Every structure is written in structure tokens, then in C-alpha cells.
Structure 1
């Protein structure tokens, strides 16, 4: 609990056996009420290693993609009554020790979304981010800011915190199963009127850390531009597609002050409950 709010950490994972233990070990259990790991049908021992700490592990029966993995993460966290949901990648590229700080931004009532930014400070390049990724990140972020009227330092982080209210307001069931899911959720949050905060986050680029290749990076970048353009149209009163599912909302909000969009029914999952799940 943090400020009387239930905090659940979700960890989307895929072939993360080299890093999952270190990621889970650095989560502050004095603040975090539950940890949920979702293994997207990886071929290694990620699920087995994740069970050791007694956390909940959900394993997809087939690989569904990064966005679909997060949809399972958020849907399960909301089902278990989370007030604050923090997502951290399983590849140890982002510091789990910052989870209390991110959750605190949400618990303060000042922010609906909080991001751990690799770009604030000097952490990106000193942490080993390849120069071409750094340049692409800065260029995409500048374009996104220009299109949607924000001043964020980064849109592409794998360390994010959400209030229950804003997650409930997003049409998660309609979003991409691929990496552009991240951009869609932030764009929709902006359209919904969310207040977004950031903190500086160190990064670690290493052999075990997951990373999409150059070709998929290009496809991702083009997808981000399309999402930003769609968000700009919606902000100007011409929403299309999923952007028709979100209305401008007053903040701060309570659960009763907005429309619950809901989560799509999940395909068959294998759930391994290894911790004390009393009260769930």
C-alpha cells in the first residue's frame, strides 16, 4: 500500500531467464502489494524462475505479442483491485528500485501517468544505448511532442505507472498486439486529459536485455508517427478508430466519474499461483 492505495507491479516477459530474477529482486515489497509476471509463451525458463519468489505467474499458451502481453498484465491487475499499476520490463534495462517513486507520483494525486525516462539526465548514453537508438528516440519524441502538444522527454520507456482511473478509461481491447501499443496508450491518455509526470531513470544495455532489430525499429517508428497523427486529429475534434472510444475527461477523477471501457476476453492462460493470494 502507498497512501492507502493498492500497488500492483506487472512484468511483461518473453525469454527473460537471464534477467527476470534480478528484476524481481529489486522490487520493494514494502510498497508493492502484488507482483504479476506474464510470460508470452517464451521458450526458456522465465516462468519457472519467476515462481521462486512466490509471485503470480501467468503464461500465455501461444505467443501473442508485446501489446497483448501488456493487455493481460493490466487486465489482471485491475481485476485484483489495483489502485496503482506499475509496469516494468523483465529485461533489467530499467531500474525496479524506482517503482516506489513512480507509484508515489500517482498516489500524490497530481499525476494519472508517470514515466521513467532514460533521456532525462545522462543515463541513456552512459548506460550503453546505441547512438542510432538515442537519435531515433529524441527525434520521435520531438515529433510526438509537436503533434500532441506535450513536453515529455521520452515516450518509449519500459517503466510506467498508471492510476486505475486512467487505465479503466482506455480502450485496451482495441489496441495493437505489437510494440506500438505503448504509443497508443500514452496518446489515448493525453486525449483523455491525463496529467503525465516523469522521473529520470538509468538504463542498462547488455546482451541479455531485449531489443527489437533495426527493421522492426523502422516499422515501430512509422507506427508511432501514425498514432501521433491520429491523436492530433482527435485533439482537433476529428477522432478516428480507437480515438473515438475516449472522451476528454476532467482530472482528478474517481472510478465513478468515467466510463469503463473494459478488457477483451483473454485466450486460454495457464496461471501458476505461487504466493499468498488471500484477499484477492
Structure 2
């Protein structure tokens, strides 16, 4: 706990068996009260490793996508009483050692969302981020800062912390189940008047670390631009989609509808 707030780490997992143990070993359990892994129909031993580690885990019988995985992560964390939720990828790309710092920034009350930025400092290229990804990151971030009217070092990190209030307020079910979910989430955060903070985070790029290919990166980039334009049009009063509406669908907290076809368990 931090300042009397229950801290939960959620890990959206897909084929993370080789790196999961290393990631979990570096989570500070003196601060973190709960760790949840959501497996998105992995083809390796991710679930078996989660059981060995004693993690509370949820298994999607069919792959629901990165965004769909996160929706389950957050609904599960809220159902288990989390006040602060930190999303940490189980591929060991981001440093688990920063979980306490990110959670503390949320607990301070100054920020509703905290991003572990690879761009602040010199962590991205030094950690092995491909140059083309770095250039695309900088271009997309520039456009987003312009259209969203905010200033962040990057919008594309997968290392994030959230307050319970934020997760309950945003219509996250209106967002994509694909990678652009991350970007739509931040646009919603700003639209509904919540505050975003950043902390410098080193990142590692290696064979086992998950990374989308060039084709999917292009699709993501177009989705990012579409989200920023959608936000600006809404600001101008020209068009407001459901994800930026007060009446948009919020997360469905447990028990989930049968159609989600998921199973739950704790480690042996």
C-alpha cells in the first residue's frame, strides 16, 4: 500500500513464459498488494509459469487483442479492490523497479495517470529502440501534442499507472481491442479533465521483448492520427464519438458476461 491505497500490478500477457518470472521477481511486494496476469490465449507456457509464481490469473480462451486484454486487466483489478493500478508488460522491457515511484505519483493526488516515458532522458535509443520507431514516436507525439492541446514526451509507452477514479470514469469499453486502445485511453483522460504525469523510464529491446511489426506499426500510427483528429473535431463541436461521451460504456466489473469466455485461477 501507499498512503493507505491498495496497489495492484496488472500484466497483459501473450507468449511471455520466457520473461514473466524475471519481471515478477523485480516487483516490490512491500508496496504492491496484488499482481494479476491476463493471458490472451498464449501458445507457450505463460499460464503454467503464472501458476508456479502463485499469481492471480485470468485466461482468455480466444485472443482478444492488446486492448481487449487491458479491459479485462482493469475490470479484474477494480473487482479485487485496487485503488491504484499499474500496467506492467511481462516481457521485461520496462523496469519493474519503477512501480513504487509511479504508484506514489498517483497516490499523491497530483496525477490520475502516470506514464513511464522512454523518451525523457536518453533511455529509448540507448536501450535499443529501432531508429525508425524512435522517429515515428517523435512525429506522432508532436502531432498529438498539437491536436490534443497537451504536452507529453511520448504517448506510446506501455508502462502506465492509473487511479481507480480514472478507470471507473472513462468509457473504456468504447475503445478498440487493438493497440490503438492505449492512445484512445490517453485522449479520453485529457477529454474528461484528468491529469497525466510522466517519469523517465529506461527500456530494453531484445529478442524476447514483445514488439509489433512494421505493418501493424503503420496501422497503429494511422489509428493514433485518427484519434487525435477525432479529439480535435470534438473540441470544435463538429463530431463527438461515444468514447468521448459521458454516456459511453464503462468497464464491466465482475462477474463478466458469459460471452467473454474467460477462466480465472490463482497459483497452486
TM-score, structure 2 normalization:
0.95
Tell whether 2:257 aligns with 1:268.
no
Q: How does 1:138-157 map to 2 (within 5 A)?
A: 138-157=138-157
Give the Å deviation of 1:244.
3.9
Alignment deviations for residues 158-193 of structure 1 (CA, whole Å, 9 cap, x no partner): 110000111111111121110000001000000011
Distance in 1 (CA, whole Å) between partners of 2:50 and 2:236 is 45
Residue of structure 1 equivalent to 2:164: 164
| Equivalent position SS for 1:146 | helix
Distance in 1 (CA, whole Å) between partners of 2:66 and 2:239 is 25
Q: Could you tell which deviates more after superposition, 235-244 or 100-109?
A: 235-244
Residue of structure 2 equivalent to 1:33: 33
Distance in 1 (CA, whole Å) between partners of 2:252 and 2:202 is 32
Given that 1:172 and 1:263 are in contact with CA atoms closer than 8 Å, whether structure 2 keeps it comes out as no
Given that 1:140 and 1:221 are in contact with CA atoms closer than 8 Å, whether structure 2 keeps it comes out as yes
Tell whether 2:251 aligns with 1:224.
no
Give the Å deviation of 1:245.
2.1
Give the Å deviation of 1:221.
0.1
Residue of structure 2 equivalent to 1:128: 128
Tell whether 2:66 aligns with 1:66.
yes
Residue of structure 2 equivalent to 1:253: none
Residue of structure 2 equivalent to 1:278: none
* Structure 2: gaps spanning 5 or more residues: none
Residue of structure 2 equivalent to 1:252: none
Give the Å deviation of 1:74.
0.4
Alignment deviations for residues 242-273 of structure 1 (CA, whole Å, 9 cap, x no partner): 234249xxxxxxxxxxx993428451212121
Tell whether 2:108 aligns with 1:108.
yes
| Equivalent position SS for 2:17 | coil
Give the Å deviation of 1:240.
2.2
Residue of structure 2 equivalent to 1:256: none
Distance in 2 (CA, whole Å) between partners of 1:201 and 1:29 is 20
Residue of structure 1 equivalent to 2:77: 77
Tell me how large the CA RMSD over aligned residues is. 1.6
Alignment deviations for residues 54-89 of structure 1 (CA, whole Å, 9 cap, x no partner): 110111011110000000000000111111010011
Q: Could you tell which deviates more after superposition, 98-107 or 164-173?
A: 164-173
Q: How does 1:236-275 map to 2 (within 5 A)?
A: 236-246=236-246, 261-263=250-252, 265-266=256-257, 267-274=260-267
Tell me the matched-pair count.
Answer: 264
TM-score, structure 1 normalization:
0.91
Given that 2:188 and 2:244 are in contact with CA atoms closer than 8 Å, whether structure 1 keeps it comes out as no
Distance in 2 (CA, whole Å) between partners of 1:97 and 1:27 is 6
